[in-house]
Structure 1
Amino acid sequence: SLLHLITANFSLTFILRIGIGLMIAVDYTVGNALLTEWLPKGEDSKRQSHLLIYWTIGFILSYLAGSFITGFDSYTWQIILATSAVPALVTAIFRSLFPLPASPGWLASKGKIKTANKVIRKHMGRKWRLPARFMKRNKKKTPRNISWAILFSKQYLRRTLVGGIFYACQAFSFFGISIFLPILLQSMNITSGNISGIIYNGGMFIGVLLGTWIFNKVSRRFYLISNFLVSGVLIGILAIVPNLNSMLKLGIFTLFAIILSAGLILDYPYPTELFDLKVRATGVGTCITISRIGAAAGTFLLPVLTNVGGASLAMLVCAIVLLFAFVVCLIWAPETSPKFMKNKENN
């Protein structure tokens, strides 16, 4: 991040952004999988959903940094990009003072049973150890390395597709909020960036808080399906009925932003719950990879569609993507909530 201060070269800047993106992607994947391994069963998904609140706070702070860091002439953009060194440094210091424990599950999968139990006892106490199924394994047998291709086998294919498609469609549409909101405000003769920022960030923060509150009250499957259906219908109304009252348009769009943002809560826990421990990190990483394709497509296509056919065309495509995700989840999405799966078994 700090290297942005010493170069304005396009190619070097592009390489730096790719490098930073790769590091963040590693943390998204490995950090999330490792976290769930150490959290108590039943608390893991709840804690993961809370992470999105902190993610949103960071997102809003980055928006504020981009809006209010001014006065450095042609160096302003370099300074804005370099500010990401601040949270990176805070995290590096914190993880140096409080090192992350190793993954007992990973150690056990490599046949290092004793080492895994030492790690568990160190962090949880002497009465804790690996589950019995790990202890019964033949220690002399070399564990089989698991290829990412297993995610596309009959056993995991449906879960891989659901995790990747829901994440990609959500990421594609999420960029519509920042693109369409200024267009709507311009149609109402409102050109203030502050109002746009308040609605954008305020709607997202309210949505994440709302999603956190709802998360453990409804089933994962219902949450996923209803979120895509309602957000798809709302943005579809704006696309199909362009002559609505300006204030009504803004109200519908704000509601769309809140509901779509509420769905972000599923980004961490749901992909994690889709896969068992032996393929979890690989599965979550694959879902995130597919989601970045959606994010890139949204960043590139939505502005192009807006220029070609206006905001209505772009919103219509956004609605189609969301409703496609709704159909996929309606047909394939499994229930992963321990609470609702238990209720189903009892019934």
Structure 2
Amino acid sequence: MTIDNKISLEDAPLNAFHKKLAVYSSGAPFLDGYILSIIGVVLVQLSQALQLSVFEEGMVAAASLIGMFFGGFVGGLFTDKLGRKTLYVLVLVALAVFSLGQFWVTSAAALIALRFALGVAIGADHPLATSLLAEFLPRKQRGSILASLVMMWFVGAAVAYVAGEFILRAMGPEAWRWALASAVVPAVLFLIMRAGTPESARWLLSKGRTAEADQVIKRVYGSKFSIADLPEPVSERRVSVGALFHSHYGKRIFFVSLFWTCSIIPQFAIYAFAPKILSAMGLTGDLAAWGAVAITIIFVFGCMLGVKLINPLGRRRMLMHSFLWSGLALLLLGLFPEGAGLLTLALFGSYALFIGGAQVLQYVYPNELFPTEVRGSAVGLATSLSRIGAAIGTYLVPMSLSSIGIANTMIAAFGISMVGLLVTWLMAPETRSLDLAKASAAA
């Protein structure tokens, strides 16, 4: 596609700026995985040190998830009103300060407050980082690069487990303080990398700041390019945040939030409680311990497979296949809960592999289906609503295992996957070949 005999910015080749911006933006999912996981590593030690009650332990673990629920939508609103650039840096300052503050806590209340604040900052970082990245990426690489960010959650979680265990073994009785505060290191590193990142040219244009948008385009793509090379929005009508709650964009929010929730409930449950679930299915000892590790690794391979298939299959087909085959794996686990150990692990591994398609689309669809004026708000709202699914998946699994048993728990998870498949079949658009303006158009 060309504009005035020149390449449209949607079809421009991927350059060094795009690659660096992708790395900088990966800080959102990396810190999400790190900060949410490090608390699990040190919970026993800090609980003894602060003499936490069972209720306080639960609140310490849940505080960041609750904060993310509020931070996602609020952060999205601010990034749409104030721009991507400023908050892109400030949110990491907040993460560094709140992480370091955990070192000096002396009460459950103080720790809960700081974990909540960290959740707010993480939640705010998701919409602004992914929106900024989506608004610069060429159409051919937009899906695969946005999708690849999801893997950084697992990388962050893995680094947290390794760093946390090392700190607990090396730092003595107060090691939990050092472990919690250790998140300041990646936060500061990403802060340094993000410094100097330009504002989104699309956001500047949406605010009528044409000259500044033109300067950004020339800086990123070269002096021969200008705003004339950026595809025009399909509609000149301004879109307000209120549109996310009704009409066509309301339907898109419903679709994005529901598919995200249906993909995250079983995934969070299996990821968080793999040893407990495997034990309920008769796997014990090394088979259960190493099986849980293997399932976690396969989750990463599933995301990698999703990144590879997102363009050949397209968004809609990949999402339908992801829900179908991962759901069938859960159904077989429910129908044969006392199967051979290796068969059980193979079915869990199949689920982890096939759900990767739905996982990686969690960053792609929200950024493609909404226009620049409300993109941050839409991604933030979807992030907030998905945390409800994360909380359900994390906290209802023990109750489900004790009340209805492992077989019915797996069948219930299959049902959730089928809801995701149905809503995808009825509502998912295909945006693979569309530029960002056309993909986000209401019609």
User: What TM-score does the superposition give when structure 2 sets the normalisation length?
Assistant: 0.69
Letter in 2 for 1:222: R
Secondary structure (helix, strand or coil) at the match of 2:163 reads: helix
Q: Distance in 2 between matches of 1:26 and 1:179?
A: 24
Instruction: State the partner residue of 1:140.
Output: none
Q: Which of 347, 352, 362 lines up with 1:257 in the alignment?
A: 352
Could you tell which deviates more after superposition, 16-25 or 71-80?
A: 71-80
Residue pair 1:176, 1:318 contacting (<8 A) in 2 also: no
5 Å matches for 1:125-274? 125-131=222-228, 146-186=239-279, 187-191=282-286, 195-274=290-369
Q: Find the aligned partners of 1:166 and 1:237 in 2 and give their Cα distance.
A: 22
Residues in 2 aligned to 1:294 and 1:185: alpha-carbon distance in whole angstroms: 22
Which residue is equivalent to 2:197?
100
Is 1:3 the counterpart of 2:101 in the alignment? yes
Query: Deviation per CA, 1:76-96, whole angstroms, max 9, x where unpaired?
Result: 433332221121011112123
Q: Say whether 1:123 aligns with 2:216.
A: no
1:300 aligns with 2:395: yes
Q: Which amino acid aligns with 1:109?
A: S
Cα–Cα, structure 1 residues 110 and 134, in superposed 2: closer, same or farther, change >3 Å? farther
Describe the shift of the 1:163–1:321 C-alpha distance in structure 2 as closer, same or farther (beyond 3 A): same
Please state if 1:328 is matched with 2:419: no
**C-alpha distance in 2, partners of 1:337/1:6?**
49
The one-letter code matched in structure 2 to 1:114 is A
Shift of 1:5: 1.2
- Counterpart residue type for residue 270 of structure 1: Y
CA distance in 1 between counterparts of 2:130 and 2:393 reads: 25
**Secondary structure of the equivalent of 1:156?**
helix
For residues 126 and 35 of structure 1, the distance between their equivalents in structure 2, rounded to whole angstroms, comes to 21
Paired letter, 2:325? V
Distance 2:421 2:177 in 1: 40
Q: Secondary structure at the match of 1:27?
A: helix
User: For the residues of structure 2 that align with 1:68 and 1:223, how far apart are their CA atoms?
Assistant: 39
**Unaligned 5+ runs, structure 1:** 137-142, 343-347
For the residues of structure 2 that align with 1:68 and 1:211, how far apart are their CA atoms?
32
8 Å contact kept, 2:306–2:360: yes
Give the Cα–Cα distance (whole angstroms) in 2 for the partners of residues 3 and 66 of structure 1: 17
| Change in CA separation of 1:6 and 1:48 when aligned onto 2, cut-off 3 Å | same
Matching residue of 1:139 = none
Structure 1 residue 133: deviation in Å?
Answer: 9.1
| Worse overlay, 160-169 or 122-131 | 122-131
Q: Residue 192 of structure 1: CA displacement?
A: 7.0
Change (3 A) 1:55 1:133: closer
Structure-2 change in CA distance of 1:287 and 1:314 (3 Å): same
* More moved, 251-260 vs 44-53: 44-53
Sort the Cα spacing of 1:221 and 1:262 in 2 relative to 1 into closer, same or farther, 3 A. Answer: closer
Number of aligned pairs? 333
The residue type paired with residue 156 of structure 1 is Y
The two structures have a TM-score, normalised by structure 1, of 0.86
Q: 1:94 to 1:306 in 2, by over 3 A?
A: same
SS at match of 2:135: helix
Checking the alignment, whether the CA contact within 8 Å between 2:319 and 2:358 is kept in structure 1 is yes
User: Is 1:108–1:134's contact at 8 Å kept on the other side of the alignment?
Assistant: no
CA contact (8 A) 2:147 2:307 kept: yes
In the alignment, structure 1 residue 41 sits paired with structure 2 residue 139: yes
- Name the aligned partner's letter for residue 64 of structure 1: V
User: Using the alignment, how far apart are the partners of 1:241 and 1:260 within structure 2?
Assistant: 20
Contact 1:53 / 1:208 at 8 angstroms: preserved in 2?
yes
Stretch deviating more after TM superposition (31-40 or 110-119):
110-119
Q: 1:276 is matched with which residue: 371, 384, 391?
A: 371
Instruction: In structure 2, give the amino acid aligned to 1:123.
Output: V
- Cα deviation, residue 59, structure 1: 2.5
Partners of 2:305 and 2:150 in 1: how far apart? 12
Q: CA deviation at 1:150?
A: 0.4
List per-residue Cα deviations over 1:191-210 (Å, max 9, x = no partner): 57851453133112221222
Q: Deviations over 1:234-276 (max 9, x none)?
A: 1122123223222211111111122223432212112212223
Distance 2:313 2:232 in 1: 37
Distance 1:73 1:307 in 2: 36
**How much does 1:230 deviate?**
1.3
Inter-CA distance 238–180: structure 2 relative to 1 (3 Å threshold): farther
CA distance in 2, matches of 1:91, 1:320: 39
CA distance in 1, matches of 2:406, 2:232: 60
Identical-residue share of aligned pairs (%): 30
